[in-house]
Structure formats: structure tokens, C-alpha cells
A and B are shown apart, each in its own frame.
Chain A
Amino acid sequence: RKEVEQDPGPFNVPEGATVAFNCTYSNSASQSFFWYRQDCRKEPKLLMSVYSSGNEDGRFTAQLNRASQYISLLIRDSKLSDSATYLCVVNPKAGNNRKLIWGLGTSLAVNP
């Protein structure tokens, strides 16, 4: 089993749609979870951290389910500018270890 797994997509949705991505991780002791966004031919950028209680940032909502070892990202009212690859990222160890484990990403295309 891969350490971090995502459905690569692509997800093709119309503007205004709601879309959700899931990501599973294999290490139950994982400590920190993130969603990064990567535009075509650009660098990854942090979209949001994922907290145990779930968190929301505008149209974006992230959830963590430790029991089932997955995190999710929900995008409401999709915009054309949301088209990108969304990378699930996990820090498997506590303390100051900064070795993040990256998923392959889920590709999203929002269509007019």
C-alpha cells in the first residue's frame, strides 16, 4: 500500500459545482496533514492545513478521519481558477522531522 494515495482524476466539473477529493494514508501514527495546490508548470503552494476538528477557508473545507485514515477536501461553488492539481501531504512523524510524504495529486478541471 502506498504511503499516501489519491485518485488522480481528472475531475471535470462545471463552474459552480461542488467537488470533493479524498486521500488515504497508511501510517496511523501520522501527525500532520495538508492540502497543497499545484498549477500547471508551477510550484506547489499550501492551500490549507487539516485539523482534527475539520477546518474551513472560504469555499474550501478540509476534514480528517483518523479512524479510517483519510483526509478530504471539499470545494464549493467551483471557479475556473480552481483548475489545478491538488496534492495531499502527510507528515508521518512527530517532532521536528520535516520529511513530508506527498500524494501524486488529483487533477481538477473546472469548465465554463
Chain B
Amino acid sequence: DTAVSQTPKYLVTQMGNDKSIKCEQNLGHDTMYWYKQDSKKFLKIMFSYNNKELIINETVPNRFSPKSPDKAHLNLHINSLELGDSAVYFCASSLMTLPSTYTQYFGPGTRLTVL
């Protein structure tokens, strides 16, 4: 059973295009995240939603727009893609109502290559 799934797994596109990545979790978690992992392997938080409400919004270009239609889904839309956007994008989820645990469960990642 897939816990956190992302589509697509690979995405190759031209500069200037607009693309979306989708994420779904079936763990019953209430909080979801988008991370970017660049070529230097640094994992950086971009956004987080709790019950469809944006709670973390890091310094990210406004070409990146997250959307959470419900607490099981978090999508990421990227406008006007640039070469520097090439990275692996990970979706993750956790259960905020259990403050004793901060375990985050990650999706398999979406490898974005901008040509």
C-alpha cells in the first residue's frame, strides 16, 4: 500500500514552461509538506499545509504555488520554469495532532529537469 505518492516521478521540460506535481497521502495525516533537494543534496522546506491551511511558507519565488484541495492532497504548480528549478521535489506528511511525534513520511520524489 502506498503511503505518500507523487506524480509524475520524472519530469523533463523546457525553460519557460508551466508544470504541476501532485501528491497524495493515505495515512490520515493532517499536515503535508513540499521539500526541494538540489544537486548538493540539501533538503529545504518550501511549504507546509495543515488541514488545507498554509502554515509554512519559506522564501520561495512566487512562481511556485502550492494548493491543498483537501488534507490528503497537496499539489505544487510551477510557472515559467528556470534552469535552477532542476531538483528533486519531495512531498511529505505528518500528524500534527500528536505533538509527541514529528515523524514525517516522504513520497518517492519527483525528479524535475529543466532544459
A interface residues with partner B (beta carbon < 8 Å): 32, 34, 42-46, 49, 85, 87, 91, 95-96, 98-100, 102, 104-105
Contact = CB atoms under 8 A, between A and B. Distances in A.
B45 interface: yes
Given A98-B102, A99-B48, A43 B90 contact: yes
Contact of B45 (A44, A85, A95, A100): A100
Interface of B: 31, 33, 40-45, 48, 50, 55-56, 90, 94, 96, 99, 101-104, 106-109
Contact of B104 (A42, A46, A95, A105): A46
B40 A104 contact: yes
A42 B108 contact: yes
Contacts, number: 47
B109 A91 contact: no
Contact of A96 (B44, B45, B96): B96
A45 B92 CA distance: 10
B56 A99 contact: yes
A32 B41 contact: no
A96 B99 contact: yes
Contacts of B45: 99-100
Given A98-B48, A99-B48, A44 B43 contact: yes
Contacts of B41: 85, 104-105
